Amino acid sequence: MRSRDDLAPFLFNRDPHFAEVVESAVLAAGRPVLLVAGALHLLRGQAPGAAPTGRPAAPAGGTVVEILERARPGTTFVAVPHLGFGDRTAELEANLAPWPTPSIAPVAGTWLGALDASLAFPLRMVGPDGEPMDPFAGVTLRDVVDAYLYLGRLENLSAVVESPFIVRDDAYFQELRRRHDLMGQPLDEERPHYVRYGVPARTLDAPPPVADGDPEAGPRRPRIAG
């Protein structure tokens, strides 16, 4: 692949291919399955016609869940994990204080279900006119998911990410750069994920020794856009 045009057909086919594998390898055999994927692949009623900045639009055929539901109505159940409520996290998280950890609950008929979906999915896209837009404008959480998974307050959640020192592997780094270029998004070596101890990780001779309590070590807090 040498250009974004070469890549585009495969990007548009991700959800149909995902659904085809689930159908042929699991559902056709009568087995249940737990699907874990980026939320936009599993939401209901969510095949935005606008494209995220620098990326193609979602496939016209719909998300994985929508494709599966057309063939097998009523067979899917979509749960979204709690990752805060954008700039209303402090206000709305108080309502979850009585919930045990972990918890899962249907959103239909609840205050959660009535929330704007954009509070759970702070995504911004580029509309047909080139202006930023909210793909979830006018959409509530109950429109796109069935349940809410609560694993604790946002401040107590952590995320495990790959080591930034992997970019010291030249072959890997050059391939990573090539893929970014294909998408029209040149790799930024100074973005936070690729920086450790104040310098680009790629420039370090080796990962420095990690001391107990080192803020650079251990699980990183997820960055949630507000």
pLDDT tens sequence across 139-163: 999 999 999 999 999 999 987 767 7
Residue 34 lies in a domain: yes
Residue 60 lies in a domain: yes
Confidence at 86, pLDDT banded by 50, 70, 90? very high
| 72/82 same-domain check | no
Residue 137 lies in a domain: no
Residue 134 lies in a domain: no
Mean pLDDT of 13-27: 94
| pLDDT at residue 222, rounded to an integer | 39
Residue 113 lies in a domain: yes
Residue 133 lies in a domain: no
| 170/209 same-domain check | yes
| Whether residue 12 has pLDDT greater than 80 | no
Mean pLDDT of 182-191: 79
| Whether residue 25 has pLDDT greater than 90 | yes
Residue 130 lies in a domain: no
Full 3-state SS string of the chain: CCCHHHHHHHHHCHHHHHHHHHHHHCHHHCCCCCCCCCHHHCCCCCCCCCECCCCCCCCCCCCHHHHHHHHCCCCCCCEEECCCCHHHHHHHHHHHCCCCCCEEEECCCCHHHHCEHHHCCCCCEECCCCCEECCCCCCEHHHHCCEEEECCCHHHCCECCCCHHHHHCHHHHHHHHHHHHHCCCCCCCCCHHHEECCEEHHHCCCCCCCCCCCCCCCCECCCCCC
| pLDDT at residue 169, rounded to an integer | 82
| 163/212 same-domain check | yes
| 2/72 same-domain check | yes
Residue 136 lies in a domain: no
| 215/172 same-domain check | yes
Domain with 29 in it = 1-76
| 71/82 same-domain check | no
Domain count, the chain: 3
